[in-house]
Each structure stands twice: as C-alpha cells, then as structure tokens.
A and B are shown apart, each in its own frame.
Chain A
Amino acid sequence: MKFSDLLRLSINNLKRRKLRTFLTVLGVIIGTASIVVMVSLGIGQAALQTESIESYASLTTIDVWQGSTMGDGSSEEQNYITDDVLKTFERIPHVTGTSPVLRTNVIAKQGVYEANLQLQGVSNEYLEQIEVGEGRLPLDEKKLEFLYGNTVIRDFMNSKTGDGYYSTGEEADVDLMGKAVFIIFDTSAYYQSQMPQSASQGSDAGQSSTKPPKKYIVPTAGIVKGSPDEWNQYSYSTYCNVDALKSQLKAIYRKEPIPGQPTDKKGKPLDYFVYDNASVYVDDMDNVKAVQDTIASMGFQANSNMEWVEQNKKTMQIQQAVLGGIGAVSLLVAAIGIANTMMMSIYERTKEIGVMKVLGCDMRNIRDMFLIESGFIGLMGGTAGITISYLVSFIINKLYIRNQIMNGYIMAGADTPGNISRIPVWLIIMALIFAVAIGMLAGFFPSRRAMKLSPLSAIRNE
C-alpha cells in the first residue's frame, strides 16, 4: 500500500469525527504549549542572569594572580607575573590577548579636594574593552594620561574638613575633565610630609621632616561611561597605559625600589616589572574553562566569571527540568486522551477494519494507518501549541517588562531588559518531534489492537 494512500485514509478518518479530533488535538495543544512556555521561561531566566553577569563583568576574561604557594619560601624564584609569563599565556590556544595589571596607589589633588586613587596600568587591549562616557581612551604608550572610573569622583574629600561624599552625601566640586589634576605617586613620602601637621593639629610650629614629594599634572583622557551612582566593573578605578606608567614610575624612583615591587636578595630592585595580576582574553565563553585550567596548571591562580555562570547554569538546569516536568504532565494527560480517542475509533471501526482485512489489506498497513492518525493528532496539536506558546510568551514578556518598569528596576524608555520567556529554534523542533512521538506512542497499543482484530467480524451480520 502506498504511503500517500495511507495518509489519505488516515486524514479522512480524522475528518469524519471532527469534534472528537478537535478535542483530542486541544489536549495536545495545551500540553505542548505548557511545555514550551515553561521551558522558555527557564531559558529566559538563565539567559537574563548570564546577561546581567555579562553587563558588569566580561565573561571571556580570566584574571590571573600569582601562585601563592609555588615558591614555598625555599626558592626565591617566586611565581611572578612578568612580561615573559604573559607571552607564554598568549601561546595557549584560544587566547586572543593578555594584559598586565600594574597597580599602584596615587593621590590626586584638585583645589582643596584630594583622593586616594587605585591606579591600574593596563594594556591597550584591556583599555579597549572599557566604554568611555566622556573623552577618549589613554592609548598613547609614551604619554601618561588617566581614564577615571565614573564613581571615582566620590572618592574626593575636602582635605581641610575631611568631608567627602560618603559622609556628607555631596559630591566634591571637582572637574576631572576641565581642570588640572595633580597626582602624587610617592604616597608614603607624602604622608610622611603630612605627619607632623596632622599630629599637632592647629599648631603653626609644625615643620615637615621630609620634603613633600613632587606633584605631577597628569592630563585626563576620559571618564568611564556612566553616572557617579552607576556601578560597573570599571567604575571605581583609574586606568592608564601600562607602558606609560612604567616609564613614569622609573623616572620618579630612579634606582630606588618602587613600592609594591619585589626586590632581590640585596634589596635592589629587579630590572623588570612584576605585575600584581593579569587579564587573559579568550575567544569564546566555551573555551574559558580550558584556558583557565591550563593557566592554573602553570602554577597561577586563575579566576573567571565563567565559574559563576557555570554555577548558575546548574541551578538553572534544575529549575528548567522542574518547569519542563510540570509541562510534561499536561502532555501526558493529552497522550492519554489520544490513546482513548484511538481506542474509541477502533471499536467504532471494527467492522471496517475487518472488511479491509478480508479484502487483503496488510495487517501492518492497518497498524500504520492508526499510527499515522495518532501521529497526525500530535502534529496538529504540536503545531497549534507552538503558535499559542509564541502568543503566551509574547504576553508574558510584555507583562514582565511593564512590571519591571512599575517596580522601578528599570527606567521607562531605557534599554529594555531581555525577555523572560525565550523560545529558541531547537525548542520548537524538539516540541514538534515530542508531540508527534507522544501521539504515535499513545496510538501504538490501540493500533496493535486494530492489527490483531479478527477479519471475521466483517462477515458477521449483526
């Protein structure tokens, strides 16, 4: 028997009992829609979380720190992060670039205001990941320029009164872009020079024991994007080009050891810079874990936000399974409905099946006919169910965003957050396959029953 003929017979049979077919299909529609919507919520939630992590931290960056126990005291050869080490990192597959992070604390002054800044000398690759609000990136390797974090302005305090944003709630009257900012690199010398003054406050007789260190005017290249109350991973530090910072530090300290840098046995500074940490950039989120493991095996501490994301993923997967399970229950009920419909149909068509058998219809063809019928119910229900779940998903997303706006999590008109319900293509395909499979599975036993019906029932005259 030709497949096209089987298909036609099956569809004719479904058409014959339109209401019953419709009701059975309705069950599958509800089942499929509930699975798809439930899973889409799970996917949406997981994606939202990943996106929110992404928004304040890059997911393809690995932070590398010195190995803590490598040297173990016995060997003076510490596991330092140096330019050579960075070069070996760059040779690891999937690594697109590296950046050293040279940290130093400096004091910035403008008028009566001063702030203790955490300065990070980084490579241009690092800088290029930062979104600039005002100005531009300090990419020049020869000239020292600063890029201030957008919340740095709150660190400025009135040096006379000691008041700052965190005590008064008012931002200092500092113009980082417009007016010159004085930077003091040798902070210990500065504090020493301040000491007597602060020890005997109010007394005029104070005389500084040490000469106050030199102040430098460092031009401002720009400010990180965001208002002073928007927090992100670049908001609280000050950035500059690492090479420019290195030459500046060398110029200041000359032969003296640079604070924070290790020295050799004789207390002399090393002829190379040791970085506090480094960033390693990976081409794709999926490769982060492997690269991280490689770096760790080289004796460094490696951290990335992927660990966090992975953790999250596991939780989300459980949540998705639970949501999908709830949806699956309704599809199971639908499957029982299909089985029931098929049984009814077979009882009703006992005679007809008998006639077909007497006239030489292959038993397998009869079975296939019923399987196609039940599979078709699954297909129709699945298709309609997916359409409906798109609709439901659309409504949920609309309500979700409105709710977020009403609760003040996001501002109206601002970038809308991601959808809470997302239906990827694979979910559609899986749902369709699942619906058809459920239909055919539900029709399997009834169809076997039909296959085994005696042809004698056709001959019997009731």
Chain B
Amino acid sequence: MTKIYGLIAEFDQPKPLIEAARRAKDAGYRRMEAYTPFPIEDLTEALGRKESRLPFIVFLGGVAGAITGFGMQEISMTRLYPYLIGGKPLSSWPAWIPITFELTVLFAAFTAVIGMIALNGLPQPYHPVFNAAGFERASLDKFFLVIEARDPKFDMVETRRFLETLNPGNISDVSHSPDESASEDDFSEATTIGVGKWEI
C-alpha cells in the first residue's frame, strides 16, 4: 500500500472540481492534477499552477536565432568572404535584417514546440492514473482530481478524509501498476453504467 501513486476523487460537474482544487490548494496540497473532458479555464489557477516558463524559454530561443542569423551574415560578409556588392560597405547590416528576422521566428517556433513537449513530460507511454477504475470517463462526462502520494502533505488516512469533505462522487486509490489495482467495487457499478450509456 505504500507504493500507491495517489488518491483520486470523481466529480459530476466542473464547478465542484474547481472548488475542490481550490480547497486542496488552500489545505496545502501542491502535487495535484485534474482530468476533465474539456478545458476549464479557471482550473489552472485553482490548482495553484505557477505561470509557465515556456514564454521565457521561447524568448531565449528567439534571441539565439537573432544572434545566429545576424552573426552568420556579419562574419561571412566581413571576415570569411568579404565581397563588395553595389558599392555598399562590407557590413551592410540593414540587408541582414530579413534573414535575422526569419531565423528568430524559426528558432522561437522550434523552441516553442520542443519546449512544450519537454515541459509536458512527453512522450509518456505509461501513466498510473489509468489504473484507477472508471477513469476512462475523464474523456466522457466525469471530472477527476488526483492528489499524488509524493506530495509532502500526503497521508493515506488524512488525505482520504480531506477528500471526503469535498463531497466527491467517489474516492479511490491509484496504484502504480495494473496488478495492484484497488478494489473495483467502488467504481464497478458506475463504470458499467457509464460504458453502457455511451456504447451505442
């Protein structure tokens, strides 16, 4: 039981989930994640997420692109292969601007895509949360809040008790591997109904 990933609480509506996330944050929990069928704007703030570092990383990527673009032209045109064109000075920097601009955009765009994937922890072929019974409804009609076991404040008994005060539909354990799966009793009924309802 010590190797548990976390506790999952299920809600029927988005608003109780936002409220639950907010109260969990106020109670001191930090290692939390929410799973919903559609994006909910205020959830990010309710979970206490700090602003993403991505914009700053993209900015650095853009600066690197600008330096690369400008530097490549400046060095090649003034030092490596000096060539007089149209009577212009060797360092005709206004002419470097288009390529500097293009490389800024290119580097920033690559940094944005790769940085986004890296910061999201992708690719991730396995995630323990799928071991929770009934979790497939996170992409249908249910809203889940998971408090992870690596949260310093996490305690099997205390956290479960806290989650109960939030009036969720269900609370269950999330184990690290499928075999240790918690008893499916909690969810079996809901799951069957859920699957039956959508299986047309």
User: Are A and B associated in one complex?
Assistant: no
Binding site for B on A (CB under 8 A): none
